[in-house]
Every structure is written in structure tokens, then in C-alpha cells.
Structure 1
Amino acid sequence: MKQRKKALSLIIACILLVNITAITSAATAIGGVPDVDVVLLNQDPDPVEQGDVVEVRFKVENTGTATLDDVELKLLPSYPFTIYSGTATRNIGKLKSSLTGADAAIIDYKLRVDKDAAEGENEIELEVNTGTMTKTYDDGEFMIDIEQYNVPELNVYIKENNILQPNTKGTIAIEVANVDLGDVEFLQMTLLPSEDYKLLSSSDYVYIGNVDSDDTDSEDFEIYVKDVEDGEVSVPIKIEYQDSNEKEYEKTIDLKFSVYSSRDLKKYGLKETNYTGIIILAILAIIVYFYWRRKNRKNKKHA
């Protein structure tokens, strides 16, 4: 008898468990279970330099079985990040379950990285709200890689020069080469005074503007070179510009070029010997000789 009661109790318990499972499944099928997941897809550039702007892209996906009607993504900006453009809160709206084959929502943010940010990985925090639940990502889920900022590298040099001797005038072409990955904006060049030359151009200032990465630009100046003793002419210039982060720079560079004496010009093959005068003298000498010889013969005949 006791064994029958135990068996009957076990059967009743199994029936109740099956019914509860069926009821739960039915409720899920009718209403669904909501859930949402956020994934950091990428950052651009990667890594981002200190003080630069980075674009981060997130994928927001409904991983539950129920459609979410009012999904909202909110960036929680904290050092070293600030919003560069747009707003921190993005209203996604209705988000269907990924089980139905629906696409996830892609959300982009543009953030400014502080110029003194620590190098390496820095956390960015997010919050997603579905109307019925709030999910916060603040435990190192999303990390942005930051590297040390490098000042844009510009090479400045004298590209062309037709002044070879002191106490002469001519033109020098000064070229600026952007050998950096980033562009340079609002570039200005000023020729500074020097005891070695006198400026003949109408202005010592030129506005060049933007110089793209891996590009060059040059400007001409007409000058008169004075009597320099060591044969080296100093041409100091000042350049002013901004990088893509609107950070301003100023740099002074002392450019130099050489001038030579007439003897050195001939020695180095920079100036050809002028034989015109010698040839003219030789011709005159020959004419005088034949004239003298002819006249001398006439005098002998008359004698």
C-alpha cells in the first residue's frame, strides 16, 4: 500500500511539472522574453592619438524573443572622452528579435580624446534602455586604444637658387613638404631679417593654406645677397600652421645656401671661362700685324 501511494505521488508530481513547463512555454510564446546586447564593432582610427577625434561603432541587437518597442542607447561620457558631434542619447525605437532574422541597429559616436589621455586602453561606458529594463556597460566591456600624439612633421628646404656669387640678386624657392600621415592647415610662411641679404620681393609673408599628407608647396622670394665673408648665406624663416585637431604650431628654421668667388665658380665648374675677350684681342692683334706688314712692304718699295 505504501509503495502504491509513493508511486501515485510521484506520478502526480511529474504531471504537475509537465503542466508548469507547458504553461511557461505558452506564456513565452505569447509574450516573449526581452533581452538586448551591445557590441563594440570598431574604432577609427585604431589606435587614436591623444587630442584626436575617434569614431566608435556599436551594434545593438535584440537577442530575446520579444520585439522591443522603445530602445534607447546612451553614451556615458567620462574622462578622457567627450562628445565631439551629435548627442549622447540615441533613440533606436522598435527593435525586432534577431531570431526573426531582423537586422541589428548600428550606432556611431564621434568622441574627442583629451590631449593628456593615458596611452593604452581606456574604457568607454554605455547604457541601453528598453522601457522595461536598463542595462549598463561599465565594467571594462568597451575599451578604446589611445597612443601618444605626434607633432606633424614638416620638412622645409631651399628647392631652387640661382644666386651663386655675393653682391648679386636672384631668386630662391623655399619648399615645404608634409611627410606626416595627417594634413596641415592654414600654413603661413614669413621670411625673417638677416644681415646676409636684403629682401627685394614686395612682401616677406606668404599664405600657403592646406598641405595634404605626402604633398609639397613652394614659394619664391627675390633677394640681394650681401658680401658675406664665409660664403654662407643665412635665410631664417618662420612657419605657422594647425594640425587636423586645430592645434596651433610655430617653428623657426634657419635655411642656408652657399655663394662662391669667381675663382671657385670656375674651379667647381659652376661658371665657364669667357674666351670672347681673348678671341677679340687675338683677332685685333692679327689685323694690326697684317696691317703693319703691308704698310712696311709699301715703304720698302718706295724706298
Structure 2
Amino acid sequence: MKKILLILLILLALPLASASLDDVNIELTQSPDSVTPGTFFNIQIKATNTGTTDLNVKFTLEEDDPFTIDNNEVNLNIPAQSSVLLNFNIETDSDANTDFEELELTYETSTKDLTKIFNINVQAIETTLVVTSVQSTPERIEPGSSAQVFIRVKNKASISLRDVTVKLDLSSNELPFAPLTSVTEQRINSLKKNQETELTYNIITLADAEAKPYKIPLLITYFDEQGTQFTKSDVISLIIDSTPILDYTIEESKLVENKKSTVTIKIVNRGLTDVKFLNVQLQPNNFQLISPQTVYLGNIDSDDFDSIEFTLIPQKDAQLPLTITYKDSNNKDYTKNIFLSPKVHSIQEAKQTGLVKTSKAIYITPILLLGLIYIAYRKLRKK
């Protein structure tokens, strides 16, 4: 009877001495702390058996998007009061979005299974906030004039962005721009996924600004939903330009009808921008051209002039058809066809104005003749 009672007591005590999954503590270590799409990371799981007997456990790290796991199942015997380490190498999908993704660890014995959830911080390295367009009104800004700059930004991230600031950096002394009636930094409270918005900047150009394109730094800062700050730099271009204004006048006309003579043409640049590669070609008309048909002047600065001279034999009421080609400071091509009507003097007018010199022999010959007659007369009287 005593033996039977002893056996019953031993049988009753056996469950109390057996190991249980409740005696297994799970701790996870991740490297790196946050992961990026398209990369591998490692997690190490420490499993501690706090029970009094050994325990055979099957560990399964469940594979789910956006993760791919090599050898996600491990079977181990964990001695009582001991720990084991499990290492898993995990790849993050290249198209994963910024978010906290879950990893599920299942560990089980023949009689029971438990699950533990871990959060993995995925930080997508992506061009989340982009400048989609830059426009200015007017498109080409004249020196000393005001303009508006419109910058559109779009959130291409998979999450919302907040506290977005976009600064037009005009601080450089090499930039001939200044803010006008607004600041150079604009702020957006938040941008939802795929949301786009437009920012407006009012500026003015300096009066002595050189006509050419200018690169302006654009500084952008913003925060994601997790409070991480991002900073990016970009560059936009604004064009300072002005249409050249050239005046063409007859500076001096020495043209005499049907005689070889000259005409001087003056070209004045009264625009705000310089002109380059200026070429003047005199087209055929009612005159005979003696000098070269084409004259190259090159550059004429703003508020400056140059002159050219043509030699020709004109007819009465001759017109000068000119073809003029040049570029502005931004290398835009221009072609102008103009007609100038110079004064063409008659022979009589030319004599009166001194354009044609009259021969003194006309006046000297009669005087000499009269002198000879007088001398001959004196000699005859003496006889």
C-alpha cells in the first residue's frame, strides 16, 4: 500500500517538474537599428530556458512582405537554466516603403506554441520631396524689373511629410536679385502622399544686372511622420535678358549722283543688353558698289554705337537695303532688314557744298588771255 501511494505521488509530481514554453524568455537584437530597401540586415534572438529541465523547441521566423529570410526554421534543445542564440539573415525588398513592419516569431514544442511580434523600422532612402517645375513671369527678366517665381514641389514619398520649408537663397553677391514684398523662405505645414503645391516668390533684379542665366541655390528641409529631418539642396535657373534695340541713321552722306562717293551709317545700341557678332550687308540696288558688300562690326555694348562706311556710285534717289544679323547676350539670333534713304547730291549741289571741287583753271585762263592781249596792245602802240 505504501509503495502504491509513493508511485502516485511521483506521478502527480511529474508535471510540476516538466519544462514549459512559458519558461522561455525571448530577446531580440537587430543590426542595424533601421533598415533600408534592397539591403540585408541581421537579427539575433536570445532564447533562455528558465525552467528546471531541458526543452526541445522549434523556432520559425515567419516570412512576409517586405522581407525574405534565409533558413527561417531552427530546431534547438535548450538546456535548463541556459540560453541559446539564433541568427537570421534577412533581405528587405527594394520597393519597401518607409514604415514599421512586423516580424513574427513562432516557437513551439510538441504540446504548445507561442508567438512573439517584433517591429522593424524600414527607412526608405527615396527622393521623397521633389521640385516638379520652376517658372518665372516674365520668362526672361529685364534688368531693374520685378518678377514672380513659381516653384512646384511634390511629395513622392509613401507617407506624409510635415514642416516643409523651401528657401530661395539670394544671399550671394554674385546674384543680381533681391526679395520684393515677400521673404525668400516659404513654409508648408504638411504634404500628403502624392500631394503637390506651388510656392510664389516676388523678386526684383538690379538695374545693372548683366544679361545671362543665373543659378540660384534652393534649400529644402522637411520631416517625416517619425520626426526624422531631411535636408536637400537643389538649383534653379533664372534668365536676365532684354531685347536689343538698335537705331540706324545716316551719319554723313557724301553721295554725288553718278560719281564715286561715300556714305557713313551710324548704329546705336540703346537697349539694356549688349549685342554680339553684328554683321551688316548692303544688298544690291540702284547704285554700283565699290567697297566690300559686307562689314563685320562685332560687339556693341549697351548705350554705345559704331559706324560703317560704304563707297559707291549712286543714281538719283538711291536707297540702301541693309541686312543686319547679330546675337544678344544670351546668344539669341536676330536678323533685321532695313532701308535707309541717304541724300544724293546733284553735281551742281555738290559744287556748291564743296563735295566736288571746281578747277581754278576755268578762272585763270581768261585772266591770262586778257593779260596777253594787253601786253600785245602795248607793244603795238609803241611802234
Q: What's the TM-score, normalizing by structure 1? A: 0.50
Structure with greater Cα Rg: 2
Q: TM-score, normalised on structure 2?
A: 0.40
Higher strand share: 2
